[in-house]
Chains A and B, each alone.
Chain A
Amino acid sequence: MTVSTMPFLLELVVSLFLIAGALFALIGSIGLARLRDFFMRLHGPTKASTLGLGCLLVGSLLYFSFQRGTVSVHEAIVTVFLFATAPVSAHMMAKAALFRGVGKGGPSRNYPDR
């Protein structure tokens, strides 16, 4: 594939998306390492990492759409599925943790007693 030169502006936008995506993913990972209990750590993957990946995918979408001359839809599909499934997995993990009593007596207040 011949790599056509991209206009500077597009290059800039793609790089911005990549950097923003990487930053959000990094922050999500820092959260995973620093937060104190299971339920707090759950917030990292559902938000920061989802948006981080979303940004990376938008960057990829712009880049490959330009390179191939057609709109690259794979990334769009991946993004949609990512945003639709991340909350579900978070919900299931939270449910399982509640069921097993993970983090009881931890920093999270109002732990439901059932």
Chain B
Amino acid sequence: MTWLQRWLPHPLFTGFLVLLWLLMNQFSFAHLLLGSVLAVVISLVTQPFWPERSRVKYPGKLLVYLGRLLLDILKSNLVVARRILFQSDDLKPGFFTYPLSLTDDFAVTMLASTISLTPGTVSAHYDREGRTLLIHCLHLDDEEALIQDIHRRYELPLQEIFDD
């Protein structure tokens, strides 16, 4: 392990923190210094929490994914809003388990967050051994179709992005 690797285990994360600090404050040399110290210390302290290094293989595809996610969030909000306002008494809520084919921890986190942000679903439990996600759905109509939809829309692109 080189000197640099020991002090900067996650260079991207450290850089992100410095940038964040500068964006939140007026730019000055003092803030650059303080931000850098904080960024290095925080990335060292949080290092044990990083499960393993996840590699984003295709950043461009990640951007496309995030863009589509934003659209889906808008759409899902309209759907959920309509259900809350007009059919809150005929809703059939329920749980279902989603079989994961992703293995990368960070990719799974992304998928679970995506599921929580989109149409009427909230991820409730991640079973690491059985490799499934437990998902609660506001209106569970057709379980199979929903699983297929999540797989096609989100899991496959994530698989490509992280080359999992």
Contact = CB atoms under 8 A, between A and B. Distances in A.
Interface of A: 24, 27, 30-31, 34-37, 39-40, 42-44, 46-48, 50-51, 73-74, 77, 83-84, 86-88, 90-91, 94-95, 97-98, 107-112
Given A87-B116, A87-B122, 17 more contacts: A24-B81, A30-B85, A34-B88, A35-B88, A36-B88, A43-B80, A46-B117, A48-B84, A51-B73, A83-B73, A90-B116, A98-B125, A107-B91, A108-B94, A108-B136, A109-B93, A109-B94
Interface in B115-140: 115-117, 120, 122-125, 134, 136, 138, 140
Contacts of A43: 80, 120, 122, 138
B93 A47 contact: no
Contacts, number: 109
A48 to B, nearest CB: 6
Contacts of B140: 109-110
B74 A51 contact: yes
B95 A110 contact: yes
B14 to A, nearest CB: 17
The CB with the most chain B CB atoms within 10 A, among A24, A35, A91, is that of A91
Contacts of A24: 77, 81
A73 to B, nearest CB: 5
Interface string B33-76: 00000000000000000000000000000000000000001101
B116 A107 contact: no
13 contacts: A30-B85, A39-B124, A42-B122, A44-B84, A46-B122, A74-B23, A87-B123, A88-B113, A94-B123, A94-B136, A95-B125, A110-B95, A112-B97
Interface of B: 20, 23-24, 73-74, 76-77, 80-81, 84-85, 88, 91-97, 112-117, 120, 122-125, 134, 136, 138, 140
Given A47-B76, A109-B92, A83 B117 contact: yes
B84 to A, nearest CB: 4
A34 B85 CA distance: 9
B93 A40 contact: yes
Nearest to A52: B77
Contacts of A34: 84, 88
B136 A42 contact: yes
B113 A87 contact: yes
Contacts of A108: 93-95, 136
